[in-house]
Amino acid sequence: MKNVLTIFKREFFGYFNSPVAYVILVIFVLAAQGFTFFFGNFLDQGDASLARPFFMWHPWLYIVLAPAVGMKLWSEEYRLGTLELLMTMPIAPWQSILGKYLAAAVVWAIALLLTFPIVWTVYYLGNPDLGPILSAYVASYCYALSCLAVTCAVSAFTRSQVICFIISVAICLLLTLFGMQQIIEAIVKALPSSMEGVVRFIAYLCFLTHYYEMTKGLLVLRDLLYFGSVIAVCLMITAWALQSKRS
């Protein structure tokens, strides 16, 4: 793990040596809080709950902001010409991938920790159940990590951060939209009844389907395994892409 830690420190401090991480953190915190109070009607709902007014906006923020954090993971190495140097060092590809991914993951952990004032506000105004809040935070973090893993995989295929960002946003948007119940029902009505099972299966593979279950205070093992599987598959795709470049 020494090599992983070395890559992690290099990548993590690299985020904060530029204004990118600070800008993304500020945008996320302000947007999450702003949507909660201005669009989620937090103060008018009469219920000390964060599920609907606060956590319902997180997936839509991650669609854009998670690729903004992860688009530099490998595209930057291509652009600077340091990928070849990194691949020739006595470091296994999986160590580089894990170190870089963990650095970006910690950035999102910091982002969620900075939203703590909203939890304090809920406890000041009422007496909420801590369980649903904690499970929703776990769900939110899993969503961020999944979008980040998708971006990591895309980044391994292109040297352009802009292209990586656009493709990653498109993929994350599709994996969010096809998990919305309204869209699922509209597609089922438009297609023959024989295709309903296929549509439901595709919807089950989308992020939003599993996210909403976890925000209800239910940490079901299958949902955690789903997000873990998405992350593992994306990191394996990243390793395959880097190995092909190395060959």
State which of 44-58, 140-154, 232-246 shows the largest mean pLDDT: 140-154
Number of other CB atoms surrounding residue 39 within 10 Å:
11
Comparison of pLDDT for 129 and 133, the residue scoring more: 133
CB neighbour list of residue 233: distance below 8 Å, 6 or more residues apart = none
Q: What are 23-54's pLDDT values in tens digits? A: 999 999 999 888 887 776 666 665 556 667 78
Comparison of pLDDT for 242 and 80, the residue scoring more: 242
What is the residue range of 149's domain? 2-246
**Straight-line distance from the first to the last Cα atom of the chain, in angstroms, rounded to the nearest whole number:** 25
- Mapping DSSP onto H, E and C, the string for 222-242 reads HHHHHHHHHHHHHHHHHHHHH
State how many domains the chain has: 1
- Name the pTM for this structure: 0.88
**What average pLDDT does this structure show over 200-219?**
81
